[in-house]
Amino acid sequence: MTTGIKGFTHIRKLIAIISFLFILPVFSLAGDTVTQAKPAEAATKATEGKEKFNAGEMILEHVSDAHSWHVAGHFSIPLPVILYSKDRGLMIFSSSKLKDGNIFKGYEKDPNSKNGFKESGIHIVVANEDGTVNKEETAKLWDLSITKNAATILLTGLLLIFVFLSVAKGYKVRGTGAPKGIQSFFEPVVVFIRDDVAIPAIGHAKYAKFMPYLLTLFFFVLFLNLLGLIPFFPGGANVTGNIGITMTLACLTFIIMMANSNKSYWSHTLWMPGVPPVVKILILGPIETLGIILKPFTLLIRIFANILAGHIVALSFFSLIFIFGAMSAVAGYGVSVVSVIFTIIMLLLDTLVALIQAYVFTLLSAMYFGMATAEEEHH
Amino acid sequence: MDIISPAFGLIFWMTLTFLIVFFTLKKFAWGPILGALKDREKTIQDALDSAEKAKQDMLQLQSNNEKILMEARAERDTMLKEAREIKESMINEAKGKAHKEAEKLLKDAREAIQGEKAAALTELKNQVASLSIEIAERILKSELSSDDKQKALVNTMLKEVSLN
């Protein structure tokens, strides 16, 4: 009971700390909306008749990865394309070379991309002379391009290292004295992860070993989530709403869980004591085996779906401006007020989701570690 | 669907970055931070413990002081008592001694007096005897100065004898 209350106050503290981060996306979005809405609307009007605004495509483009990083207006930073195949060797060139369906040194963006947007098409394929896809060569191609998401990850990594080295420096300078500045900002969060996530889930004896992973995981996911909510450069990438990212994190958790699993875990999972062998082999065994695989799977789906949905809903509200704007300019301006309000509300909600999902991912990872390392209990 | 097919490049960069961040922070951030937190908690706990210990020590000291005070008081009492006893016994002893001395002096004086007295008596007796003899001599001289008187004396004496 007391730990419940304590946990609650900790969560409240955490929410209070993060709530200031609300301000950033809200203002930035408001600014973004004002500055971007007009030219975008003008563009919509200008291209009316030729190319209709397609909300679905726009949203998918925004939540997908890209080879360039949009900064403002028509300016975007081209990111490096890195390709490797056994036959063709390593190739590094700017993504601007592939603009507008260009073929560069036999490479092009997949013209059949389901995204429909040639600009944002993420698949790079080996092109034949006539521009069609050489499927055989493409299958051998390894795409290691620094895409928008990869760049965001690298940036977040640097940010994390910078931030937490500063925090660590605070401890070096002040020793056991009272924390100050950035150190006191992150200390409650670190203590929260230790006292309300790691220790209850794993136990006092073994939690210390998993702390570095849990802390890195929590802050990496949290930073990526929050950075994804900032709608302009250097944010805006939908990283934790990308299945490749969440899969990587879930796999890391799974690998660590398996590497630390003890005999008791496996015997309780696959050969539950006190159950008839027939039941064990026919029912419990298959179910538990499936459960082992399902754990990281649910982990990766949960955060992926939550973050992706948040982005899609916020963008959908935003798209209403252009859908109505396409009908008439007055409707566009009228709806924009409501749309912006709803988008802001969605972003606030997404900030909460960003926090909760980072927390849940870390908590579940900790619980899996706890399950894998639990000592045998005698029934 | 692009959106649910994980991209190899992204997985590669994510894994690489995560591992670099993980190992960097593990060595240079999480270790020192968690260590410092533990140290600080330990310091605070130690401070609380030592405060508690100091409190206990104070109490102990206080009770010790009380004990020492009590002992001192008891010692003082016994010392006073002993002193009183010694005083009493000294007085008694002195009294006894004085008494004996006085008695001895008295006895000596008495003996001396007795001796003096005896000597004086002896002298007196001697004086009386010599005086008596002198007187007797003179009386005899006078009594026996004539024959008549001698005869009368003999007669008287004879008479007395016959009466017996």
Domain residues of chain A, as ranges?
Answer: 7-34+149-378, 80-145
CB-based contacts of B92, cutoff 8 Å, min separation 6: none
Chain A residues near residue B28 by CB distance under 8 angstroms: 165, 168
Alpha carbon distance A266, A202 (integer Å): 17
- Put simply, whether B10 touches A (Cβ < 8 Å) is yes
Contact B28 A165 (CB under 8 A): yes
The pLDDT, as a whole number, for residue A109 is 78
> Chain A residue with minimal CA distance to B24?
A161
Sequence-ordered alpha helix ranges (H) in B26-143: 31-143
Contact B37 A187 (CB under 8 A): yes
Chain A residues near residue B34 by CB distance under 8 angstroms: 190, 194, 208, 211
Higher pLDDT among residues B89 and A124, named by residue = B89
Alpha carbon distance A255, A249 (integer Å): 10
How close, in Å, is residue B51 to chain A by CA atoms? 18
The pLDDT, as a whole number, for residue A113 is 62
Alpha carbon distance B146, A285 (integer Å): 186
Half-sphere exposure of B120 (CA within 13 A, CB side): 6
A93 - beta bridge partners?
Answer: A81
The pLDDT, as a whole number, for residue A336 is 85
- Put simply, whether A190 touches B (Cβ < 8 Å) is yes
CB-based contacts of A203, cutoff 8 Å, min separation 6: A370, A373, A374
pLDDT band at B85; cut points 50, 70, 90? very high
Closest CA relative to residue A32, chosen from A176, A182, A230: A230
- Put simply, whether B99 touches A (Cβ < 8 Å) is no
- pLDDT of B152 above 50: yes
Average pLDDT, chain B: 90
The pLDDT, as a whole number, for residue A248 is 94
The pLDDT, as a whole number, for residue A20 is 43
- Put simply, whether A220 touches B (Cβ < 8 Å) is yes
How close, in Å, is residue A121 to chain B by CA atoms? 10
User: In angstroms, how far is the first alpha carbon of chain A from the final one?
Assistant: 25
Alpha carbon distance B73, A156 (integer Å): 78
Tell me the residue type at A220: F
pLDDT string in tens for chain A (379-residue length):
344 444 455 555 555 554 544 433 443 443 343 334 444 444 444 444 445 678 887 888 788 888 888 887 778 888 888 888 888 888 888 888 887 777 787 787 777 665 444 444 577 888 777 777 777 778 888 888 888 899 999 999 999 999 999 999 988 888 777 888 888 899 999 999 999 999 999 999 899 999 999 999 999 999 999 998 888 777 778 889 889 999 999 999 999 999 998 888 888 887 777 778 887 788 888 888 898 999 999 999 999 999 999 888 888 888 888 888 888 888 888 888 888 888 889 889 999 999 999 999 999 999 999 999 988 665 5
Q: Are strands A75-78 and A80-85 parallel, antiparallel or unpaired?
A: unpaired
The pLDDT, as a whole number, for residue A322 is 84
* φ and ψ at residue A139, rounded to 5 degrees: -60, -25
Chain B residues near residue A160 by CB distance under 8 angstroms: 21, 25
Domains of chain B, by residue range, sit at 4-163
The pLDDT, as a whole number, for residue A257 is 93
Alpha carbon distance A347, B7 (integer Å): 27
- Put simply, whether A79 touches B (Cβ < 8 Å) is no
Q: What is the DSSP letter of B146?
A: S
The pLDDT, as a whole number, for residue A379 is 52
Contact A211 B30 (CB under 8 A): yes
Closest CA relative to residue A291, chosen from A260, A252, A265: A265
Contact A245 B22 (CB under 8 A): no
A157, burial (CB in 10 Å: exposed 0-12, middle 13-18, buried 19+): buried
- Put simply, whether B47 touches A (Cβ < 8 Å) is no
pLDDT (tens digit per residue) in B13-67: 999 999 999 999 999 999 999 998 898 899 999 999 999 999 999 999 999 999 9
Q: What is the pTM of this model?
A: 0.72
Alpha carbon distance B87, B76 (integer Å): 16
| Cβ(A214)–Cβ(A197) below 8 Å | yes
How close, in Å, is residue A272 to chain B by CA atoms? 35
The pLDDT, as a whole number, for residue A22 is 43
Please give the structure tokens belonging to residue B110.
């008495």
Chain B residues near residue A142 by CB distance under 8 angstroms: 8-9
How close, in Å, is residue A259 to chain B by CA atoms? 16
A41 - beta bridge partners?
Answer: none
Backbone φ/ψ region at A177: left (φ over 0), alpha (ψ -120 to 50), beta: beta
- Put simply, whether A187 touches B (Cβ < 8 Å) is yes
Find the CB nearest A176 among B1, B22, B43. Answer: B43
ipTM for the assembly: 0.80
Cα dihedral A165, A216, B15, A350 sign: negative
Residue B91 Cα distances to A26, A234, A283, B100, B104, angstroms: 107, 110, 110, 14, 20
- Furthest-apart CA atoms within chain A: distance in Å: 75
- Put simply, whether A149 touches B (Cβ < 8 Å) is yes
How close, in Å, is residue A276 to chain B by CA atoms? 41
Question: How far is Cα of residue A89 from the mean position of the Cα atoms in its chain?
Answer: 31
Rounded to 5°, angle at Cα B126 from B122 and B129: 135
A79, A160, A227: best mutation site toward chain B, by most B Cβ within 10 Å?
A: A160
Question: How far is Cα of residue A335 from the mean position of the Cα atoms in its chain?
Answer: 30
Contact B14 A113 (CB under 8 A): no
A205, burial (CB in 10 Å: exposed 0-12, middle 13-18, buried 19+): exposed
Alpha carbon distance A109, A120 (integer Å): 9
